[in-house]
Amino acid sequence: MNNKTFLQKIGSGIKNHKGWTTIVVIVFIGVGYYFYHSAQNANAEPQYVISAARFGTLQQTVTGTGQVSASNQTDILGQVSGTIKSINVNVGQRVSSGQLIATIDSTNAAISLQNAKLSLAKLTEPAKATDTSNATNAVNQSYSSAFDSVSTAYLDLPAIMAGMKDMLYGQSGFLSDQKSSFLNSTARTYRVGAGVAYDAAVNQYNSSLTKFKSLSRASSQSDLDQMFADTYTTMKDVADAVTKAQNTITYITTTQPDYNPASASTAAASVNGWASQANGDLASIVSAQNNISSSKNAMTTLETGANHLDIQSAQLTVDQAQQTYDNYFVKAPYSGIIGRIPVNVYGQAGASTVIATIVGEQKIASISLNEVDAAKVKVGQPVAITFNAIDGLNATGTVEEIDQIGTVTQGVVSYGVKILINTQDSRINPGMSVNTTIVTNQENNVLLVPNSAIKTQGSLNYVQVFSPAVLAALRAASGTASASTTRQFGRLASTTGQGQFASSTGGQNPNGGYGGTFASTTGANFGSTTRNFSSSSRTFGGSAAQTRATTISSATPPQQVIVKIGDSDDTNTVILSGLTPGQIVVTRTITSGSAQTTSAPSILSSLSGNRGGGAGGGATGGAARPTTGGAGAARPGN
């Protein structure tokens, strides 16, 4: 009865306090499940994510973003003035170097060029028989004309010489010795100078007159040349004497007007007439000699050809005329695309008129790198390029130029880098945004393990491996698929391909093609209940090298093996010694008892400078290893 009453009280309490009753029931169920699950996990085995050491290629890269620009953009200017006759291209048209863009009226330039060519042809053309005959006649005619000029001179000279003699030495002469005593000293000096010049002219006159009388038109050219030269000297001396007499009379009539005023005007008129005759005869003789020289040169040119300097000068004139003519035909300076044409047919063009604007087909990617990354980049390094605006286009490039002077912005130093885009694609336009990955270092055929496999204890680096006996036992035990926590342990295949492996930002395969980042050893999906011993993997550009990973359970903990490491990228580390190809290493430990996963440090732990996690499954975890590895880029902690 009492029991029934107690149960009724409990039932009544539950009905009256349904909320609290529900909470108490949930708490009891949770506590029970916790103790049950703990008892079950106490007997579970730790799990390990493992991967095989394999030969491959390590790439260290630097990434940057920027914009596309054309390597060249040029305004094609007119070089000459004139009317535009034709425009031979359209905006957007691809043209080659030297292709005709437009023409300007070249009529006058064509005429000038033709005249220059004719002048050159005359100099280089062989002499014709008629030309030689005409040249010979011209020479003979020049000698005949010269003989006439000399004859005229000798007809005029007697009167000049006699008149000068009477003026200087006759008793009634204006400048005679008897009257000169009335002259001042300066006038007497003038008078003496005129007399000396006259005496020299008399001697030259007598000598040349004798030679003239001994020759005729039929005399040899050499004798005639000598006679012409002597006559020229005679006329020059006579003209000099007459000029001095003229100057003397002018001085006397100016300074001593009372000196023989009755004869002064007559003397002045006489000497002026003699000067006119002497100078006229002298000019005629000089002209005759020049004609002889010119006709002889023409004859020599016909016989021996033009002087090489004259030919060179004529050729230069032709070249200049040709260049001027060519300037009327506007051509593309290099291959590219016509960006604009701001002129019209029949419009006027000048020396500074923009006929068209051409944009080079070669594209440049301009990016900016911080000083740390810029120090790793060198001219000639390969570059992988993607474009925000062009899905699926993976272009290649080459570092062409690196700024030698940095730019400081808010305390941050950056350097400009120009990348030559090797891939030709019409969709790539100036101004587009680009993402670039520069391969700064590449090591081929090296032994690699995932970064997360490397642990550090003190100054030593080590990896965790399972003994061959443990692996054999696991392989034998994995023959049959079982419950949800069982994994199949497939063939432990090492891959020795030497393909290209991308960094975390993707990379370029020099043999062609691009790929994403290799799946890290911790990146496999372990959501399914049963899987083979090979995680998902990605190949780079068709390369044979792969990263394989799987998760296994083992009650036997792995062993620590000391290794010597080299460079690393964002995914893998080079093993210099301590491991052999195909050897299985632990990249992550999943602790069974606490349902925790231990591995290399996460991103958060890497901020504190640690690298590598503690070993699970009963093995003592190693100390953290610094994130820097050799010359490689900093390794992430995941």
Mean pLDDT of the chain: 79
Greatest Cα-to-Cα distance within the chain, rounded to the nearest angstrom: 200
The whole-number pLDDT of residue 619 equals 37
Pairwise pLDDT comparison (556 vs 327), residue with the higher score: 327
> For residue 540, what pLDDT band results from cuts at 50, 70 and 90?
very low
> For residue 15, what pLDDT band results from cuts at 50, 70 and 90?
low
Cα separation, 166 vs 179, whole angstroms: 13
Give the pLDDT confidence of 121-151 residue by residue, as tens digits.
988 887 777 878 888 899 999 999 999 999 9
Whether the Cβ atoms of residue 74 and residue 333 lie closer than 8 Å to each other: yes
- Region 310-325: mean pLDDT is 94
- Region 300-313: mean pLDDT is 83
> For residue 69, what pLDDT band results from cuts at 50, 70 and 90?
confident
The whole-number pLDDT of residue 451 equals 93
The whole-number pLDDT of residue 13 equals 62
Q: Which two tokens stand for residue 106?
A: 């070249």
Specify the DSSP element, H or E, that contains 101: strand 100-104
Question: Does pLDDT of 483 surpass 90?
Answer: no
3-state SS of 593-616 is: CCCCEEECCCHHHHCCCCCCCCCC
- Alpha helices for 107-260 (secondary structure H): 107-124, 129-169, 177-180, 185-213, 221-255
Pairwise pLDDT comparison (273 vs 538), residue with the higher score: 273
Q: 421 forms bridges with which residues in the sheet?
A: 397
- Region 346-368: mean pLDDT is 91
Q: Tell me the residue length of the chain.
A: 638
CB burial of residue 498 (10 Å; 0-12, 13-18, 19+) = middle
Question: Does pLDDT of 521 surpass 60?
Answer: no
Cα separation, 494 vs 55, whole angstroms: 9
Least confident of 95-104, 168-177, 286-295, 506-515: 506-515
The whole-number pLDDT of residue 454 equals 94
- Region 189-198: mean pLDDT is 92
> For residue 41, what pLDDT band results from cuts at 50, 70 and 90?
low
> For residue 63, what pLDDT band results from cuts at 50, 70 and 90?
very high
User: With pLDDT > 90 as the criterion, what percentage of the chain qualifies?
Assistant: 54
For CA atoms 79, 82, 84, 85, give the dihedral sign: negative
CA nearest neighbour of 163 among 38, 314, 273, 300: 273
Pairwise pLDDT comparison (30 vs 429), residue with the higher score: 429
The whole-number pLDDT of residue 2 equals 53
The one-character DSSP state at 256 is -
Question: Does pLDDT of 519 surpass 90?
Answer: no
Q: Which two tokens stand for residue 356?
A: 């068209």
Q: 370 forms bridges with which residues in the sheet?
A: 414
Contacts of 313 (CB under 8 A, 6+ apart): none
Cα separation, 395 vs 512, whole angstroms: 10
Give the pLDDT confidence of 607-633 residue by residue, as tens digits.
333 344 333 333 334 433 444 433 333
Give the pLDDT confidence of 445-466 residue by residue, as tens digits.
999 999 999 999 999 999 999 8
Whether the Cβ atoms of residue 332 and residue 358 lie closer than 8 Å to each other: yes
Question: Does pLDDT of 109 surpass 50?
Answer: yes
- Region 96-100: mean pLDDT is 93
Cα separation, 460 vs 169, whole angstroms: 132
Cα separation, 255 vs 188, whole angstroms: 12
Pairing of strands 94-95, 82-87: unpaired
The whole-number pLDDT of residue 553 equals 84
Pairwise pLDDT comparison (419 vs 466), residue with the higher score: 419
Query: pTM of the prediction?
Result: 0.44
Question: Does pLDDT of 478 surpass 90?
Answer: no
Residue whose tokens read 């008078």: 191
b/e for 61-96, b at 16 or more Cβ within 10 A?
bbbbebebbbbeebebebbbebebbebebeeeeebe
Highest mean pLDDT among 22-31, 175-184, 364-373: 364-373
Cα separation, 89 vs 73, whole angstroms: 17
Cα separation, 168 vs 163, whole angstroms: 9
β strands within 278-389, DSSP E:
329-331, 336-340, 348-349, 354-360, 363-370, 382-387
The whole-number pLDDT of residue 490 equals 36
Q: 54 forms bridges with which residues in the sheet?
A: 448
Residue whose tokens read 């390794």: 635
Whether the Cβ atoms of residue 490 and residue 508 lie closer than 8 Å to each other: no
- Region 557-578: mean pLDDT is 92
> For residue 263, what pLDDT band results from cuts at 50, 70 and 90?
confident
The whole-number pLDDT of residue 627 equals 40
Give the pLDDT confidence of 47-58 residue by residue, as tens digits.
889 999 999 999
Least confident of 28-32, 89-93, 329-333, 460-464: 28-32
Question: Does pLDDT of 75 surpass 70?
Answer: yes
Pairwise pLDDT comparison (231 vs 359), residue with the higher score: 231
> For residue 522, what pLDDT band results from cuts at 50, 70 and 90?
very low
